[in-house]
Amino acid sequence: MTTSTKLPTPAPNSVASRTLPTLTTALAPAVWGTTYIVTTELLPHGHPMFAALMRALPAGLLALAISRTVPRQGWWWRTLVLGTLNIGLFFPLLFLAAERLPGGVAATLGATQPIIVALLAVVVLSERLSGWRLGWGIAGVIGVALVVLGPGAAFDVTGIVAGLGGALSMGLGVVLTKRWGRPEGVSAVGYASWQLTAGGLVLLVPTLLVEGVPHRVDSGAVAGYVWLGLVGGLAAYTIWFTGLRTLPVTATALLGLLSPLVAAALGALVLGQTLDPLQLIGFALALAALGAGQLTPRPREGAHS
């Protein structure tokens, strides 16, 4: 009698095998790029924590009811940690930075996340520091800065701390998500529902105590909350966590450069903003950094592994 052992599916390493997962995962940060225009054009001003709560908890509870799975064994505390880092802490810091800073400054601070992930991967995942991806991460920040920073950019201390804190929070969340993986038998929707619900519950009491509910929520705001919750929250995070399961963590983080680029493109298409030649150069540099960061250069012959 013979027995067979089912080996785990290896992570895709070649460019060809990673193309479809990469393009699919890129949809998540592309959708997140709509956050700024939705926040500034549709949502009530002065309620970043409430916006974060509405983006997380309703979608999380809905997905939890659909998936009918709850954390088990050691996943309760992991879910709380990941939900806090990726959702409960990141969301309000993101909305606070968007309110206190011009969109360009907030976007540039957020674009530092791939650099943070590259450094944290060395400590948390024991990966070797990839000079290639770190270099392209820096190039991406420069490219985004050229696109979105203008001469009138204001630097509010609270907003800057919020922007950098948000990048650090989600950067650590991304690395820990890669380290812990996803439990066997749990769907991507179920996994996203755990984190959205946990993050929403973390936000619930502080939001009600600090901000409360906006005095007026019109139809535009309702549409904005639905978009941010169902599309920017549940759908995008389901896609994102699926990609993180198989793709290199730093390469995946570099896809986040799409968010400020999509935000800038929407500003041009929807709000009539124009991009000058220097901004177009920055746009091209950021796209080049995003694409090059997906590649893994071959070691030179004679190099020690």
Q: In Å, how far are 28, 72, 117 from 196, measured between CA atoms?
A: 15, 16, 21
Q: Is the pTM of this model over 0.75?
A: yes
Task: Report the candidate in 196, 164, 172, 194 with the shortest Cα–Cα distance to residue 182.
Answer: 194
Mean pLDDT value of segment 107-129: 86
Task: Classify each residue of 208-224 as buried b or exposed e, where b means 16 or more C-beta atoms within 10 Å of its C-beta.
Answer: eeebeebeebeeebeeb
Task: Report the candidate in 301, 52, 94 with the shortest Cα–Cα distance to residue 201.
Answer: 52
Least confident of 120-124, 148-152, 202-206: 148-152
Task: Report the candidate in 50, 174, 40, 180 with the shortest Cα–Cα distance to residue 107.
Answer: 40
- Output the pLDDT for position 232: 92
Spatial separation of the C-alpha atoms in residues 193 and 114, rounded to whole Å: 25
pLDDT at position 292 over 80: yes
Strand stretches in 157-280, DSSP E = none
The full set of domain ranges for the chain reads: 20-292
R_g (Cα) of the chain, nearest Å: 19
User: Which residue did the predictor score with more confidence, 108 or 266?
Assistant: 266
